[in-house]
Amino acid sequence: MKNLLIRGLTALALGTALTGLSTSCTKDLDQQPKYELTPDKIYADLNGYRQVLAKVYGGFALTGQSGPAGNGDIQDIDEGTSDYLRQLWSAQELSTDEAVVAWGDPGVQDWHRMNWDANNVLVRGLYYRLYYQVALCNEFIREAADNKISARLSGGDVATAQRFRAEARFLRAVAYYHILDLYGQGPFITESGGVGLTAPPVGTRQQLFSFVEDELKALIPLLADARTNEYGRVDKAAAYGFLARLYLNAQVYTGQARWTDAAAQAKNVVDAGYRLCTTPAGTPPAAVASAYARNFLADNNTGPARDEIIWPIVFNATQTQSYGGTTFLINGSTGSAAGWQRIVGQSTGWQGLRTTRTLFDQFSKLNGDTTLDTRARFWTRGQSLEIASLTEFTQGLGVLKYRNVTSGNVPQGGAQNFSSVDFPMIRLSDMMLIYAEAVVRGGGDRATALDYVNQIRRRAYSNSASANITDTQLTLDFLLDERSRELFWEGYRRTDLIRYNRFTEGTTLWPWKGGVAGGQGVAKTRDLYPIPSSDLTANPNLRQNPGYN
């Protein structure tokens, strides 16, 4: 099933040269991505629609039209760096206590030092990647309008194309969710906005929230039932999941708490038939991965891991190559030691990403022994726990979460060490923790919440009942820490800290927060990223986020 989506990605990338928004201003947001062939020829049959849909999904994983480097989608930024997942992950993780980076490329150190501005190339690159994805989705949705598919297709193919259209709408809602979360506002246009507008209207945070909410709710009856769709494609559970995430942060986005709604949507996902992976890969002393770690291996599209991952971004070492995605997460966080590279699948070791002692210490908060929690996989040999210099790779611990080996311990990177690890955009344990937090904040059943948390903890401690917490221990502080232990390096930390009022505030510090070794608070302004200066110039409807010049 994984190969079906990958084949579509490959066929479209090689066959139609979809270039889309190669400019760097969203005045072109309403334009259709350009093809060498006319739409009537590309969408001549259902297979044409399938291939373009694969490109829309591929927008989260790929960066251009000629393999991992060549004819990039986004200009004015290194192509590999421009990857959707790589940029999103950096904005969500490098800005927090969970990750630091050694590289000195333009703008990179600004993430963790929290001193980015409206001219930062990476802040700009992420912004345009998000809008490129919106443009891909809008173009597909236009071409999948009822009148067009009825004219081009017949019989059951019409209904299938309508399902494709619903999935493209979901993917557009995801991009707009990330825009409202990261930037708080932005140009807003859908497939009905028309072609040729020079200055798209701007959606406020409330307007973008309402759009994403309305879209996801409308799509639930149109998407495939949970666990019935082709691997890598979304279903009803994915819509429930993003609604749960939207509602969990609704108070930040709109000023109105939606805890009961968050709990209800998270419960919909839990009840949809997905289940935690509780089977390790191999047996001690030759175990390849714990039950938890199996979710982050190169064959996490199979076996028990597939039962936990609700929507993955699909990667393949030979067919979906990029220098972003999980290739970035694995190679970027690996050093030069042969033993280290062997553990993660013969990575070349880019010597960039590490973590701080703040994350490491999370795993000893309850029992004082980091080694008991199977989620705590760090490379310590030759690495220091303390970080005196952000640009020294040997300072800070290596993270062994994503590993480019199968559950049989077979490396998958190939000669160029690209990754075959699929990235979980929605995972069941996140939904269980969303439910628990929403309950503690005021919506849902507390006994159910405690049971969900203890299922996660028992899995982390090799099914030991000693990992269970009591009802008294089920607090908001505990849940923030548990989300870090369970979900670190999965792209949630910045949003979580903002929800808890601990991202910019001086009451919560970590190494090099705010650009000083011991950490310091920064302006509340930095709860949002700035609108790129280039887009302010291009679109007179835009206004800069408060606090940025």
What is the gyration radius of the CA atoms in the chain, in angstroms? 22
pLDDT for position 365: 78
More confident: 364 or 173: 173
Mean pLDDT of the region 250-257: 98
Q: Which domains does the chain show, CATH number per domain?
A: 2-255+529-538 (1.25.40.390)
pLDDT for position 16: 32
pLDDT for position 197: 58
- DSSP state letters, 457-488: HHHHTTT-GGGPPPTTT--HHHHHHHHHHHHT
Coarse DSSP helix, strand, coil percentages of the chain, rounded to the nearest 5 percent: 45, 5, 50
Residue 18's pLDDT band, with cuts at 50, 70 and 90, is very low
- 478-503 pLDDT, tens digit each: 999 999 999 999 999 999 999 999 99
- CB-based burial label for 521 (10 Å; 0-12, 13-18, 19+): middle
Average pLDDT value over all residues in the chain: 92
- Cα separation, 45 vs 360, in Å, equals 53
5 has a pLDDT exceeding 80: no
pLDDT for position 67: 74
7 has a pLDDT exceeding 70: no
pLDDT for position 367: 66
Residue 194's pLDDT band, with cuts at 50, 70 and 90, is low
**The one-letter amino acid at 385:** L
Structure tokens at 487: 């979900």
Structure tokens at 512: 């090099």
pLDDT for position 8: 46
Mean pLDDT of the region 400-405: 97
**Maximum Cα interatomic distance, the chain, rounded to a whole number of Å:** 66
More confident: 65 or 432: 432
- 305-316 pLDDT, tens digit each: 999 999 999 999
pLDDT for position 283: 79
pLDDT for position 366: 72
- 217-232 pLDDT, tens digit each: 999 999 999 999 999 9
pLDDT for position 368: 65
- 410-452 pLDDT, tens digit each: 999 887 899 999 999 999 999 999 999 999 999 889 999 999 9
Listed ranges 7-11, 16-20, 450-454; the one with the highest mean pLDDT: 450-454
Residue 71's pLDDT band, with cuts at 50, 70 and 90, is confident
Backbone φ and ψ of 85, nearest 5°: -65, -40
Residue with tokens 């005021």: 442
Residue 69's pLDDT band, with cuts at 50, 70 and 90, is confident
- 177-189 pLDDT, tens digit each: 999 999 999 999 9
Residue 66's pLDDT band, with cuts at 50, 70 and 90, is confident
- 387-398 pLDDT, tens digit each: 999 999 999 999
pLDDT for position 196: 55
Residue 372's pLDDT band, with cuts at 50, 70 and 90, is confident
Mean pLDDT of the region 103-131: 97
119 has a pLDDT exceeding 60: yes
pLDDT for position 348: 87
Helix (H) or strand (E) holding 203: strand 202-203
Helix 428-441 vs helix 236-248: crossing angle, to nearest 10 = 40
- 195-212 pLDDT, tens digit each: 555 789 999 999 999 999
| Cα–Cα nearest to 84, from 46, 104, 55 | 55
Q: What percent of the chain has a predicted confidence (pLDDT) above 90?
A: 83
